[in-house]
Amino acid sequence: MTPLLLAFGQLDDPACLGVLVRSVVLALVAYLALLAASIWGIHGLLHAVHWPAWLAGIIGTIGVVLLAMWLFLPTVLLIAMLYIERIARAVDRRFYPYLPPPSPAALPVQLWDGLAIAARVLLLNMVSLVLALLPVPGVGLVLALLVSGWAIGRGLFVAVAMRRMGRPAAQALYRHHRFAVLIPGMLLALAAMVPGLNVLVPILGTATMVHVLNRSSL
């Protein structure tokens, strides 16, 4: 089975269910906060440039949804950093009990990596948005998925790998297996665009990258 299917199959694990509940609550709070901030920012901007009310309403509604969705994925990935160890241990316990216990990186290093991943995805989402608007049908969406898939896959793979090795070794291992990481990364990026399914990205992404890591290291 592929790593992503194995990750889906473990969603009934008590550890995953516990993280899912926490992730849903945090993600909903984050989304509502992003939505409120987007409404305030966009309507303030439209008011400043004196758009007609009906046109401002249409543009504002579309803009609020797009901006909140644009900011949501980096927020979800930041949430994922809080639960990487818990999910990864559950995967190791079910599928790889013969592996030695991991020695995770220090908490400040993990938090820094989480912020770096979120910032990278936030920046690349801006690029993805521009690419998605390319006049050639379909090309923009594919390029956007490639960009987002690269960012998500690389970030989560390196974060998971740092449970068992230092950052330089984790980055070197990623470079050696980048194509094995890119495909599930793109699928996760696609899932992140679907409301409801996007809250599963932290769990599925972490579990998937544990399988990719362990299979590449065996």
Max avg pLDDT among 53-67, 68-82, 128-142, 165-179: 165-179
Gyration radius (Cα) of the chain, Å: 19
Q: Give the residue numbers spanning the domain of 151.
A: 3-217
- pLDDT one-digit tens code per residue, 5-29: 999 999 889 888 888 788 777 777 7
Burial of 96 (0-12, 13-18, 19+ CB in 10 A): middle
Q: Is residue 48 pLDDT above 90, yes or no?
A: no
Distance CA 84, CA 88 (A): 6
- What sign has the CA pseudo-torsion 175, 178, 181, 182? positive
pLDDT at 71 over 70: no
> d(Cα 80, Cα 114) in Å, to the nearest integer?
8
Q: How many structural domains is the chain composed of? A: 1
In this predicted structure, what is the pLDDT of residue 135? 66
Is the pLDDT confidence value at 212 over 90?
yes
Q: Judge whether 3 and 214 are in contact, CB under 8 Å.
A: no
As a whole number, mean pLDDT of residues 151-179 equals 88
User: Is 0.85 surpassed by the pTM of this model?
Assistant: no
Split at pLDDT 50, 70, 90, the class of 138 is low
Q: How far apart are CA 85 and CA 148, in angstroms?
A: 23
The answer to whether residue 140 scores a pLDDT higher than 70 is no
State percent of the chain over pLDDT 90. 12
- Give the dihedral sign, CA 28/68/140/118: negative
47-61, 76-90, 109-123, 132-146: the lowest-pLDDT one: 47-61
pLDDT at position 92, please? Answer: 93
Cα 189 to Cα 206: distance, rounded to the nearest angstrom: 13
Dist CA 187 CA 5 (whole Å): 11
Mean pLDDT of 162-167: 84
DSSP H helical ranges for the chain: 3-9, 14-48, 53-95, 107-132, 139-161, 167-176, 178-191, 201-217
Residue 53 has pLDDT above 60, yes or no: no
What tokens appear for 154 in the block?
């690389």
State the Cα–Cα distance between residues 144 and 189, nearest whole angstrom: 9
What would the pLDDT profile of 84-118 be if each residue is shown by its tens digit?
Answer: 888 999 999 999 999 888 876 666 776 777 677 76
Could you tell me which residue, 179 or 66, shows the higher pLDDT?
Answer: 179
First to last CA, the chain: 16
What is the average pLDDT across 43-61?
62
CB-based contact 213:161 (threshold 8 Å): yes
Q: Residue 15: which residues within 8 A CB-CB, separation 6 or more?
A: 86, 87, 89, 90
